[in-house]
Amino acid sequence: MDNSSKLAYLDGKGLYYSFLAGARSLLDGQGELNKINVFPVPDADTGSNMASTIRTIIESISPASSYKQTADAIAAAALIGARGNSGVIFAQFLYGLSNETRDVEKISLQAFAESVNRSVQYMYEAVANPVEGTMLSVIRDWADYIYSNHSYFDDFKKLIASSMDAAHESLVATAQRMRQLTHVNVVDAGAKGFVLFLEGILEFIKTGNVRALRSLLESDPVVLPVGSDDHGSLTYRFCTEALIKGESLDKDKLREIVRGFGDSMVIAGSSKTLRLHIHTDDPQKLFEELRSFGTLIFQKADDMQKQYEIAHHRKWKIALVADSSCDLPQDLIDFYQIHLVPINLFFGENHYLDKVTIHPEQFYRMLDLEEHFPRSAQPNDKAFENLYSHLASHYDSIIAVHVVGKLSGTLHSSLMAAERISRETGKKISVFDSRNVSGGLGLTVLKIARSIEEGKEHDEIAAHIPQWVDKTRLLVSVRTLKYLVRGGRVTKMKGFLANLLHMHPIISFDKEGKIYMLEKTFTMKSNMQRVIQLAKDELSRQELDEYMILHAHCETDARWMADQMVEVTGRDPLAVMDISPVIGVHAGPGSLAVAFMVK
């Protein structure tokens, strides 16, 4: 872009590089946005959410000569990548900008001003209860200025420069227009994010420095916040989002379905693709209700309570991360502030988050009723990058332990993300293969959590983890191999022979993390008894540290097994609990397990 000439029209490449410039400014300021995050909840993540939204757009679009084509690409990427309340509102504004633009190669000041003005209504219609003194107000005030004053200018550069006073004045006013902001004397974080975005655009159209923007595509640094202040408490626990696809989707109908589930509702998008954002305490029940509305191709449910606690009431200096195949009682997960990354579950095209938007009872009901057999999919690198970036801003270091690497790509995704975030933040992130699943992984994670509680240093704990992994055993009584076969964990021939001979295998993991058949029986009762005997034999030679009983929707049998283990060990189990749905996919209903760690 020639910064010396008048810019009477904006084409696709001009829009593309202007967007990159705004993105760079917002990414640089994300730490400060997290620090002043008060509304709608003080969970210190507005900057991270807006940055994540921006990153998705940057990674999805490329320069095109057509303004309309570029605007459409930005809007589509924003709808898919929108994260958090501010991210979804911003995405809806971009969608309005795209929808209100005619199919043109380049846009005039008048057409731009008209499209910006009409886009404001898209935001307000998306928000269930619009609150003034937020980014809604600032975007509206800025758009009003553009629309009311564009006729006085013949140059985009001068119009945008002149509009910045209106944006800044509106931003300053947010501190007085909303009680939550006035109380702590800060401006609205989402509104400031939008102003930062505008400032980046202005800087670019003044200088025309494309070279500096291209470096953004090669290096997207993680910016740590300055620190966050405690601005209040939470009303609901989960920041929940969904991307829904279908034909003739009705926003009003969706609004009625979700209205009673929480607050901060925003619905963005079109009749074919909608993005839902809401704060709720029951994401699992919410998504069960949404199944009949459309195809759930993406879900997110961030635990705002945990985000708030680590931002304002962090217990220890080392963060502990696992994935949702880790089975532990929820009270221990909450007490030790363990961060679980949910593994993805799919029934056909419908997407769920293990243990977050689908729980065992619902899972086994769907397993009986759904025509599609469920499949699991690892969290992608981005999910881990977002988490590690957030944790690195609050902890000195991070330890992560995951489901056996030979069965899932989760470990690899975590390792890739850890390497990048560690390199860019300077924070130590150690990732380990548990060579186990379910309660086996859970007991290893609990051992690490207790060591962190005792005040042990990162390197000392990391040095002991391989030993704790070796001392952990999982003995699984499998009712049928059908589900292991369908999940690809056992060959069809082995499954056929086991079914033909009415065999019930006992499986475990070897030292390399491979599944193997330990023994087999011909009745389920003898199988369960044999599991107890195998555990007794091993514990007769080694001292027990901790144990737990796991089951796949068969609590009565699990209670019997727990009673038997009490006789063997002389103590109650840590827990008797349902295995996570993502493990239930492969183990199948009726499976039982004893997980134990020795000293």
CATH number of the domain where residue 479 is located: 3.30.1180.10
> Which pTM was predicted?
0.75
Angular region, 337: left φ>0, alpha ψ -120 to 50, beta rest: left
pLDDT over threshold 60, residue 225:
no
pLDDT digits (tens, 9 = 90+) for 490-509: 555 454 444 544 578 898 99
Instruction: Quote the pLDDT of residue 501.
Output: 44
Closest CA to 170 of 199, 135, 200, 146: 135
Q: Which of these three, 218, 241, 275, is where a domain ends?
A: 218
- Claim to verify: residue 85 and residue 190 sit in the same structural domain: yes
Exposed, middle or buried: residue 352 (CB in 10 Å: 0-12, 13-18, 19+)?
buried
Exposed, middle or buried: residue 444 (CB in 10 Å: 0-12, 13-18, 19+)?
buried
- Claim to verify: residue 31 and residue 91 sit in the same structural domain: yes
The answer to whether the beta carbons of residues 48 and 87 sit under 8 Å apart is no
Assign 216 a pLDDT band (cuts: 50, 70, 90): low
What's the start-to-end Cα distance of the chain, in Å? 67
Pairing of strands 338-341, 375-377: unpaired
Mean pLDDT score of the chain = 89
Distance CA 382, CA 412 (A): 12
Q: Which of these three, 218, 242, 272, is where a domain ends?
A: 218
- Claim to verify: residue 338 and residue 349 sit in the same structural domain: no
The contacts found for 112-121 with CB under 8 angstroms, 24 or more apart, are 112/10, 112/146, 112/150, 112/156, 113/146, 113/147, 113/150, 114/147, 116/143, 116/146, 116/147, 117/143, 117/144, 117/146, 117/147, 119/93, 119/94, 119/143, 120/93, 120/96, 120/144, 121/96
**Does 4 fall in a domain?**
no
Instruction: Quote the pLDDT of residue 494.
Output: 55
**Does 500 fall in a domain?**
yes
Distance CA 255, CA 128 (A): 8
Assign 484 a pLDDT band (cuts: 50, 70, 90): low
- Claim to verify: residue 160 and residue 34 sit in the same structural domain: yes
Q: Which of these three, 218, 250, 274, is where a domain ends?
A: 218
Instruction: Quote the pLDDT of residue 487.
Output: 52
- Claim to verify: residue 93 and residue 187 sit in the same structural domain: yes
Report the number of distinct structural domains present in the chain.
4
Distance CA 344, CA 374 (A): 10
**Does 3 fall in a domain?**
no
- Claim to verify: residue 479 and residue 436 sit in the same structural domain: no
CATH of the domain at 405: 3.40.50.10440
CATH of the domain at 269: 3.30.70.980
Cβ atoms < 10 Å from Cβ of 209? 14
- Claim to verify: residue 171 and residue 208 sit in the same structural domain: yes
**Does 226 fall in a domain?**
no
Closest CA to 431 of 474, 387, 473: 387
Instruction: Quote the pLDDT of residue 403.
Output: 95
Range with lowest mean pLDDT among 232-236, 369-373, 476-480, 551-555: 232-236
- Domain residues for the domain of 188 are 9-218
Instruction: Quote the pLDDT of residue 552.
Output: 93
Instruction: Quote the pLDDT of residue 485.
Output: 53
**Does 385 fall in a domain?**
yes
**Does 227 fall in a domain?**
no
- Claim to verify: residue 162 and residue 241 sit in the same structural domain: no
- Claim to verify: residue 252 and residue 324 sit in the same structural domain: no
The answer to whether the beta carbons of residues 442 and 450 sit under 8 Å apart is no
Cβ atoms < 10 Å from Cβ of 517? 15
- Claim to verify: residue 323 and residue 281 sit in the same structural domain: no
Cα–Cα distances in angstroms (integers) from residue 439 to residues 295, 328, 476, 594, in the given order: 32, 7, 11, 8
- Claim to verify: residue 269 and residue 403 sit in the same structural domain: no
**Does 1 fall in a domain?**
no
CATH of the domain at 44: 1.25.40.340
- Claim to verify: residue 446 and residue 457 sit in the same structural domain: yes
**Does 108 fall in a domain?**
yes
